[in-house]
Amino acid sequence: MANPPRIGVLNISDRASAGVYEDTPGKACVALLREWLATSFEVDYRVIPDEQPLIEAELRRLADDSGCCLVVTTGGTGPAPRDVTPEATEAVSDKLLPGFGELMRATSLKYVPTAILSRQTAGIRGRTLIVNLPGRPKAIRENLEAVFPAIPYCIDLIGGPRLETNEAAMKAFRPKA
């Protein structure tokens, strides 16, 4: 039997990586993925500080060495000087998918006017889809819920494993054959 697909979850936070507070954003991502995916998968999970070279190295490791079909990052997408997750994602991606960030910002604007400050993006590295999410669990759910219907099909298109969703919790979109 083939190995289950791997999904990377990377929480980017100076304070969580230093143990100042609990890593709730990363745990929230894993819980959502377990709720929404019917396909069993392994998680490659890390918490690292907001350092662009470290983020880039970790994204490369998750895609190239760990073989993750999907990597979701949390945090580092705001306008503050240390928020460099989008820059790291852009640096390691072969292609950018700006529609992910556009939809996430549009979704967040329904809840907070400061959504225009968000810089979430997504990109493809080889056969890995990288999606940048905000750092708060409520916003993670809102944003990931908006873009997730397109994620399994995107992974199909880049040659990754087929991910099936738990239809009662999350319906993925795939064109009719």
pLDDT of residue 1: 57
**Residue 118: is it exposed, middle or buried by C-beta count within 10 angstroms (0-12/13-18/19+)?**
buried
Domain range for residue 121? Answer: 6-157
Q: What is the CATH number of the domain that holds 150?
A: 3.40.980.10
Tens digit of each residue's pLDDT (9 = 90 or more) over 1-57: 578 999 999 999 988 988 888 889 999 999 999 999 999 999 999 999 999 999 999
Residue 44 located in a structural domain: yes
Distances (CA, A) of 73 to 84, 96, 168: 12, 15, 25
pLDDT of residue 69: 98
Residue 169 located in a structural domain: no
Residue 175 located in a structural domain: no
pLDDT of residue 107: 97
Residue 168 located in a structural domain: no
Average pLDDT over residues 133-160: 96
**Structural tokens at position 50:** 């907001």
pLDDT of residue 54: 98
Residue 86 located in a structural domain: yes
Residue 167 located in a structural domain: no
Residue 104 located in a structural domain: yes
pLDDT of residue 89: 98
Q: Which long-range contacts (CB under 8 A, 24 or more apart) does 53-58 make?
A: 55/10, 55/12, 55/84, 55/85, 55/88, 55/89, 56/88, 56/91, 56/92, 58/10
Residue 177 located in a structural domain: no
Tens digit of each residue's pLDDT (9 = 90 or more) over 61-104: 999 999 999 999 999 999 999 999 999 999 999 999 999 999 99
pLDDT of residue 130: 98
**Residue 105: is it exposed, middle or buried by C-beta count within 10 angstroms (0-12/13-18/19+)?**
middle
Asked whether residue 153 carries a pLDDT value surpassing 60, the answer given is yes
Tens digit of each residue's pLDDT (9 = 90 or more) over 94-127: 999 999 999 999 999 999 999 999 999 999 999 9
Number of domains in the chain: 1
